[in-house]
Structure 1
């Protein structure tokens, strides 16, 4: 039913980079897709992507620019920073960009349709947001089947703890140091948001595993 072509929603962060190495191990023909929706992290993400995929996969990175989407979004991803954050839950709330994964998956499906790929890969982890859950992905798959056709949504870390992502990063020898995971700043890591802290934890655990 499904061929081996996959459109990978790739941001240069830990989650999508680990997923990239997962797909390589599974011998998929990977078509990386980066969507610029006006996120503050654009500069850091693009720089990370270029370093990570260099010489790694055959197909060229596709970049889609829809920066104006940020005008109808909200949260730190588009520059609306929280004033007072005291917990991870607060960060998750303030980082939330409404319907982001619905938008990204819809565009990935359109690209997949164009190149005759039957797989879409997205590096969602756990169910911190309403559009990262397994339930959301299952319903999205049904919607795409009605609008375009049958697509396999590859999201091996959905509903899993981030610990599994880090374990696979170490097992696959993922270059975590090349990734960019920040939800607040574009050209450096803010070291405050959940993405920055998760990346630092992954770097530490990788270092300990190598020793």
Structure 2
């Protein structure tokens, strides 16, 4: 098993409030922090600009990975022409659900973290303000990082500092860590 550097962390950064809070949390917790952003054809292109600006302000390196194939799968208001309405579809998921998005992000993040000798992967997933996204649950992400650790024979750890926080609590954390 490859023992990764316990002082290094990679943050999955969308540029929004949650991932920005997680970035500043990671800066407080780890000696070296980098971020990774994904261009998956999302409709809200400003996310990419915001992520780059947040990383620059934090003084860290940010890598943007192109995942254009995700939008080719369609089926979600986040990557299609459909209005983002919050409508619950027949399968019980919101129309903004992109199947497997966080699992794909986590896989790419782990591959990059492996190359950079980074033990910790930080993700802004939160299940208390239920979004209906099954790939935001602690159980899902825990099993995913376990599979990635096995598949790469590396000792990854995932951190989801917002997982059990309400939106109000995550705003308080953002202020505490200096994210805003």
The TM-score normalised by the length of structure 2 is 0.84
Which deviates the most, 157-166 or 100-109? Answer: 157-166
What is the aligned residue count? 170
**Cα distance, 1:32 vs. partner?**
0.7
CA gap 1:166/1:90 in 2 versus in 1, 3 angstroms: farther
SS at match of 1:17: helix
**Cα distance, 1:93 vs. partner?**
0.3
**Structure 2 Cα separation of the partners of residues 107 and 131 of structure 1:** 15
- Report the equivalent of 2:160: 155
Which runs of structure 2 are paired with 1:122-133 in the superposition (5 Å)? Answer: 122-126=123-127, 127-128=130-131, 129-133=133-137
User: Which structure features the higher share of strand residues?
Assistant: 2
**Structure 1 Cα separation of the partners of residues 88 and 175 of structure 2:** 29
**Structure 2 Cα separation of the partners of residues 158 and 89 of structure 1:** 23
**Cα distance, 1:7 vs. partner?**
1.3
- Report the equivalent of 1:200: none
Structure 1: gaps spanning 5 or more residues: 176-211
- Report the equivalent of 1:51: 53
- Give the counterpart of 1:145 among 144, 149, 152: 149
**Structure 1 Cα separation of the partners of residues 102 and 76 of structure 2:** 14
Which runs of structure 2 are paired with 1:45-124 in the superposition (5 Å)? Answer: 45-58=47-60, 60-82=61-83, 85=85, 90=88, 93-124=94-125
Indicate conservation of the 8 Å contact 1:133/1:159, yes or no. Answer: no
- Report the equivalent of 1:134: 138
**Cα distance, 1:49 vs. partner?**
2.1
**Structure 1 Cα separation of the partners of residues 105 and 162 of structure 2:** 17
**Structure 2 Cα separation of the partners of residues 151 and 73 of structure 1:** 31
- Report the equivalent of 2:18: 15
**Cα distance, 1:174 vs. partner?**
2.2
CA RMSD of aligned residues (A): 2.1
Pair 1:165-2:167 in alignment: no
Displaced runs of 4 or more, over 4 A? none
**Structure 2 Cα separation of the partners of residues 66 and 27 of structure 1:** 28
Indicate conservation of the 8 Å contact 2:71/2:80, yes or no. Answer: no
How big is each residue's C-alpha offset from its partner over 1:47-105, in whole Å with a ceiling of 9 and x where there is no partner? 212322224234x211111212211142121024248x4xx564960111000011000
